[in-house]
Amino acid sequence: GNVFVIAVILLERHLQSVANYLILSLAVADLLVACLVMPLGAVYQVTGKWLLGPELCDMWTSSDVLCCTASILHLVAIATDRYWAVTSIDYIQQRTVGRITWMIATVWLVSLLVSCFPLFGWKDDDWQKRIQVYQQCLISQDVGYQVFATLSTFYLPLAIILFLYWRIFLTAKKRIRRRKEQRQNNGVSSSSAAAAAIGGLRLSLRGAVSSAAPTNSTTNSTGISFVSTSEPATCTVMAAAVGVLNLGRPPMPISSPSDTLDNLYSKRERKAAKTLAIITGAFVVCWLPFFVIALLMPVCQWPHCYYDDNMVSFFLWLGYFNSTLNPILYTIFSPEFRNAFQKLLRMKSNPPRSSQPMPTALSHSGGGGGGGRTRESRPNVTVLTVGNNNKFNDPERQSVAAVSNNYSG
């Protein structure tokens, strides 16, 4: 998943926006978890003991803290970016490459700082004994370091993420309901007229066609759209109340536009709540059990407390699993990313074929007094065309275009 995210951002020019740089950096951090941390973790899990020495244990635990902390702090940076985009009108213009680069650099610098402290001696007294005697490779169990590390890498980021996404949801809910009230206040206008003409019965309906005001719509990668209009639009319903046209049939039921709009606004509210709940819930479920254990282990030790090794390993790998979920959760709600994934999968499943020369048949026909002339005869080939643009004549491109259109919403 992370490889796909990196590939589509690098290959698709329309995805190379400033906001997606955070998604790209998050995918790099999660990919490093899979490449640097999980392989040695799998060896340690299978063998049940650490056989690679203290130096490699130091490197592995530091890489673990670096990559996992970077992954978590990227979620904070993405939540902050979305919060500013929703609450500040001028932030879209202020979201520059330099600003996002500064955010990414801060994330990696803080992660590096937290991971390097044990390398410079912030370790508990039993660290060497655990490796040489018990053959256990754990991050420093010093109480001070664990409190500092767990607070800076999880508990504080969790509080910030919960606050920011709660504020984003309230803002989205407020905007949706404000637009709903504007629709209700504008009301519904309608007009109709009927006239009979020679040769038959004609119904002339005259209604003011609703004129759509210019709109500005922004959609973030969570799929939540915020639409602003320069002036309220009017909705018109045209109906004929001429009894003779019913011809004895009962009148057709007409759904109320206000009911339809109410359902639409309620659906948007539920979608916003569901999207943010999925993103936040996945983060909490994956990482909370591990960080609770990580904070308890140096505080309450044997013989007062016992921690099952399988339970600790399960919670650790559950946290690693969050790096697999991130590329899905932070891109699947975006139509642009969905289209790019579909296009990339289509290209992988249907590689471009080598062009073959079209066979031609030559026939000679004799004319009256003139010499024979050569005429080119082509086989019956059906070519699908869209308009007059020759680049759509390729069936493979047509398939990609069809997929993009189907998933554009």
SS (H, E, C) 109-164: HHHHHHHHCHHHCCCCCCHHHHHHCCCCCCCCCCHHHHHHHHHHHHHHHHHHHHHH
Q: What is the chain's pLDDT, residue by residue, as a tens digit (409 residues)?
A: 788 889 888 888 888 888 889 999 999 999 999 999 999 999 999 998 998 989 999 999 999 999 999 999 999 999 999 999 888 888 888 888 999 999 999 999 999 999 999 998 888 888 888 888 888 898 989 999 999 999 999 999 999 999 999 998 888 788 777 777 777 777 544 444 434 433 443 333 333 333 334 444 444 544 444 444 433 333 333 333 333 333 344 444 444 555 566 666 667 667 767 777 888 889 999 999 999 999 998 888 777 788 888 899 999 999 999 999 988 888 777 788 888 888 887 776 665 554 455 444 433 444 444 444 444 444 443 333 333 334 333 333 333 333 333 333 3
CA distance 257 to 237: 8
3-state secondary structure of 358: coil
The per-residue pLDDT for 204 is: 36
Domain spans in the chain, listed from the N-terminal domain onward: 2-177+270-333
The per-residue pLDDT for 352 is: 55
Which of 306, 293, 34, 321 is closest to 138 using CA atoms? Answer: 293
The per-residue pLDDT for 336 is: 82
The per-residue pLDDT for 353 is: 55
CB 145 within 8 A of CB 117: yes
Kindly tell me the sign of the dihedral angle through the C-alpha atoms of 266, 271, 276, 281: positive
Q: Which two tokens stand for residue 275?
A: 């999207």
CB 62 within 8 A of CB 122: no
The per-residue pLDDT for 37 is: 93
CA distance 103 to 327: 19
According to DSSP, residue 215 is labeled E
According to the CATH classification, is domain 2-177+270-333 in 1.20.1070.10? yes
188-189 and 235-236 beta bridge pairing: parallel
The per-residue pLDDT for 30 is: 93
3-state secondary structure of 380: coil
Distance of CA 196 to the CA centre of its chain: 57
The per-residue pLDDT for 384 is: 32
According to DSSP, residue 48 is labeled S
Percent of residues in the chain assigned helix, strand, coil, to nearest 5: 60, 5, 30
The per-residue pLDDT for 247 is: 35
Q: What single letter denotes the amino acid at residue 167?
A: R
The per-residue pLDDT for 66 is: 95
